[in-house]
Structure 1
């Protein structure tokens, strides 16, 4: 079994805020992330696939194809967008790194696994250089 990882980057804004809480409670829990004028991050996304290397091509998956899948299903939907307002798969979800990472995993699972013998292993999402979430579909 081989593991292969592709990195992509995107920029997005979001706000941590619960409608059922008042402003004071939101600020107490989420701090600066509850800013009513939003805030943003330069995210780094690492997608790892796994499977067996093809004898015919020497590839698990052509990295050009993996790039197209990531661009079409994730980057085009997230880059320079507001996660709370513009992203269909984040509707009515708190735009945390953890939940975004999980949702990205489920957006990619089908398109990646349509390729014979290729399986999505993990999605790792860096919000900052110090903070990231990683999801294995468990």
Structure 2
């Protein structure tokens, strides 16, 4: 519904009366906030437990170094604070994602530049676990709900922790 523009004072009075009349109480309601970031990274799927022939058979063309423009959607959850009308500022989530995802992963070779993948195969599944672990260290306890990591437009992993 479109509302005509009112003066600031009139608008506040109108909003207060609507709030009183509707008696809507949103405080404490569980909400979910999601944000998406995109990063570029290279990797090569290869297991140290397999020989060259087995790696080629298991991983196919992904056994060669190649890159992706990964897209990561992080969803956090929390109860609405009555003072702010939100449980987390979207810009704070952006900062968390910058620290946990963009800084360690963007324009990196996962196998060579990220210590986690020294002994872990750099599949999208393991990348999701890595991102989850990084976020869980810095987000407020219990608010991380799920992450979705897109390797391509058609292929993605959803991870909700252990």
Q: Fold match, TM over 0.5?
A: yes
Does residue 1:129 correspond to 2:158, yes or no? no
Q: Gaps (5+ residues) in structure 2?
A: 1-29
Deviations 1:57-113 (A, max 9, x none): 112111111111110121110000011110123331000001110121111012111
Does residue 1:77 correspond to 2:101, yes or no? no
**Greater CA drift, 41-50 or 21-30:** 21-30
Q: Gaps (5+ residues) in structure 1?
A: none
Q: Distance in 2 between matches of 1:29 and 1:90?
A: 18
Superposition misfits of 4+ residues, deviation over 3 angstroms: none
Match of 1:39 among 58, 63, 66: 66
Instruction: Give 1 or 2: higher strand fraction.
Output: 1
- Flag the structure with larger Rg: 2
Does residue 1:101 correspond to 2:128, yes or no? yes
RMSD after superposition: 1.2
**Aligned length in residues:** 133
| TM-score, structure 2 normalization | 0.78
Instruction: Give 1 or 2: higher helix fraction.
Output: 2
